[in-house]
A and B are shown apart, each in its own frame.
Chain A
Amino acid sequence: MEDRIRQRRALFTVLQQWLDEATVLEALQIFEEQFQGRPTIAVHDYLTQIAPLYKDRVDAKTLRRELMQMLVRTSQQLAPDPLPQLEQLRASQQAEQRIEFNLQPSAEQLALHQLISAMMQKVPLTQRKQLHTHIARQLKTRFRNGSYDQLAQYMLADNPIYLARFDDRSLRDFFSLIYVAACEVLGPVAADQWLGAGIAAFRASQGAAAQAINRYL
């Protein structure tokens, strides 16, 4: 137990030099959820996992060196335990999730879901798997703070409820990421055809209601 607190404090002390509080807490949350209970911190794995959070501000080598130095310092040299902030964050996230659970997708979001769902059905199974992998990779680069998980879950579950918390701009970015992934997997020409044919078919089947998807294209 003592080791775990020391590691958390060491991480907090190091990360707050470069990152704002919200990002530090996000990084600590990952540590708490996935790296607690291990005999020592798997520093390399951990830093690799949280790389999107810090890579614009500091390189992994510096961070690793600082962290190793901090782990052998005395307790007085470390920042106070950030557990209260972490618990506060967790509580607010749970409250948010409860609210989100009650959110229902709008008519436009439902239309987008129908379009994506219909387009994905048209991709052969093997390529669909590749497409999912590439979409997940694209999502990681673009969406953070839990948005990535939500959209990844959406792709897996094919359930429009996961789209409900996103605004138009984010969903437009999301649709664009699907197009980018399609370009990589299917090729640019096939991706254009896939997109064009999918939208044309959707418009033909939905009539005037199909205009709802315009905002995401």
Chain B
Amino acid sequence: MSRLIVSLALLVPANVFADTDAVALNTVWVLIAAALVFFMQTGFALLESGMARSKNSVNVIMKNYMDVCLGSLVFWAVGFGLMFGLNESGFLGMSHLFPDFDEEWPFTFLLFQTMFAATAATIASGAMAERTRYMGYLVGAMLITGLIYPVFGSWVWGGFFGGKGWLAELGFIDFAGSTVVHSVGAWCALAGIMVVGPRLGRFDPVTGKGRLIPGHNLNNVALGGFILWLGWFGFNAGSTLQGDTSLGKIALNTHLAASAGAAGIFLCQALLGRPVLLTLTINGSLGGLVAITAGCATMSMGHAIVTGLIAGVIVMLGTLMLEMLQLDDAVGAIPVHGFAGVWGTLAAGWFLQSDPYNLHNLWVQAVGCVVAFLWAYPLALLVYWVLEKTIGLRASNLQQQRGLDFTEHHELGYPEFDHVRLHKPLAQ
């Protein structure tokens, strides 16, 4: 008996230490993942500014920078509560506005989710680049992080403090946010580019054909692509919210899908007899990353490769389709985040490792995709339309001629190469 008591006495502290170690490990892992997701903003900034003309590069960087800053504040104030607060109805979180916590884990969770919200907002900045006013854009980004993204997020991921989102109840699978983060961001971007219109001369006024506006620094584009790829390991593997043994598979699936995405778009370009463009190749890999985001934890490696490969093809076709429709997406954000996001979400249901090729799963996934579009797109359209009519969203012709670096920020990204020096008093 006494031996048993001694054994129990020894056992209890051991368990306590084990639990404490696990919590600490989870916290450290999720913080590292949050930092990686934060680093993705660098990737977005480099990729988007590299794809813009040099006269707009500072403006693009500034939008990405302020997306994180303002988005974080707005998400902390209202977004987090709407998304993860007590969600009894399944439609909206109703607690933890301006949150503070007694326990320690929610701090880590909030930080990680804040980085996700900033990612959703920043998708629109690339699509709307080079002709969107700074102030109008930022107000739009705040509404995305404070309302559009968290409300839809509550339907899928809601209920951190109790309850469950109605789409999650249906069985909708979106592990790290192909739809919740990427498609929602892309539908907002689609609304944005429809309201703001194309860049000057982007489409031939007679034939309607698109004209290529090459970015000013493709090295930055490539660097941005690599950084996004790196950050995505945190984005997907961090979504486990715990440092466990499943991380390896998730990270590997992520990597394989990105590689397959690049291969898919490379094949597509080669088969169509088109030049193999760096920008499209990088977008292909990003499409693979977006697509695998929903099912990275629940898919086999083979399916991850198929998902990525098809995502690459979809990015290529989506880019051509937008051009045919005369929609000017400056960086290809909508095919990458929107179309590939939809495909990835469907693939997550269709290739579900525990129950593959189940039509019911596919149906639920399709419902989730349609709901995301029906929620995000019309609301963003309204938001951007109101912004255009009130504070102004589209930059004037003169502002586009001068470049948004000068007209919005009064500084130039590359002053030593500036041939069109401007007369500042009139510009104010």
* Partner-B contacts on A (CB < 8 A): 134, 168-169, 172-173, 176-177, 179-180, 182-184, 186-189, 191-192, 195-197, 199-200, 203, 214-217
Residues of B within 8 A of A134 (CB): 205
CB < 8 Å neighbour of B423 from A187, A191, A214: A214
| Interface assignment of B249: CB less than 8 Å from any CB of chain A | no
**CB-based nearest B residue for A201:** B419
CB < 8 Å neighbour of A179 from B205, B211, B212, B397: B397
Q: How many chain B residues touch A (Cβ–Cβ < 8 Å)?
A: 22
Bound-complex Cα distance A97 to B214 (A)? 47
Which of the candidate stretches B157-165, B195-203, B316-324, B378-386 sits at the interface with the other chain? Answer: B195-203
- Whole-angstrom distance from the CB of B416 to the nearest CB of chain A? 13
Question: Are B201 and A191 neighbours in the complex by a CB distance under 8 Å?
Answer: yes
Residues of A within 8 A of B205 (CB): 134, 184
Bound-complex Cα distance A70 to B411 (A)? 58
Bound-complex Cα distance A214 to B427 (A)? 10
**CB-based nearest A residue for B130:** A188
Question: Are B201 and A168 neighbours in the complex by a CB distance under 8 Å?
Answer: no
Given A182-B201, A188-B211, 6 additional A-B pairs, CB 8 A: A168-B426, A179-B397, A179-B401, A188-B213, A195-B401, A195-B420
Question: Are A180 and B200 neighbours in the complex by a CB distance under 8 Å?
Answer: yes
Question: Are B401 and A176 neighbours in the complex by a CB distance under 8 Å?
Answer: yes
| Interface assignment of B16: CB less than 8 Å from any CB of chain A | no
| Interface assignment of B3: CB less than 8 Å from any CB of chain A | no
Does more than half of chain B's interface fall in helix, strand or loop, or is it mixed? loop
| Interface assignment of B421: CB less than 8 Å from any CB of chain A | yes
Residues of A within 8 A of B398 (CB): 172-173, 176
**CB-based nearest B residue for A176:** B398
Residues of B within 8 A of A173 (CB): 398
Question: Are A177 and B397 neighbours in the complex by a CB distance under 8 Å?
Answer: yes
Bound-complex Cα distance A11 to B200 (A)? 39
Beyond A169-B426, A189-B214, A217-B402, whether A176 also contacts B397 by CB under 8 A is yes
> Sorted from nearest, which 8 A-B pairs have the closest CB atoms?
A183-B201, A214-B423, A188-B201, A183-B200, A200-B419, A176-B398, A196-B419, A215-B423
Question: Are B420 and A199 neighbours in the complex by a CB distance under 8 Å?
Answer: yes
Residues of A within 8 A of B55 (CB): 192
Bound-complex Cα distance A193 to B201 (A)? 14
Bound-complex Cα distance A99 to B200 (A)? 38
Bound-complex Cα distance A217 to B422 (A)? 6
Bound-complex Cα distance A200 to B397 (A)? 21
- Whole-angstrom distance from the CB of B398 to the nearest CB of chain A? 4
**CB-based nearest B residue for A216:** B423
Question: Are A180 and B397 neighbours in the complex by a CB distance under 8 Å?
Answer: yes
- 24 A–B pairs (Cβ distance < 8 Å), ordered by A: A169-B426, A173-B398, A176-B398, A179-B401, A180-B200, A180-B397, A183-B200, A184-B200, A184-B201, A186-B201, A187-B201, A187-B204, A188-B202, A188-B213, A189-B211, A189-B214, A192-B55, A196-B419, A196-B420, A199-B420, A203-B419, A214-B423, A215-B426, A216-B423
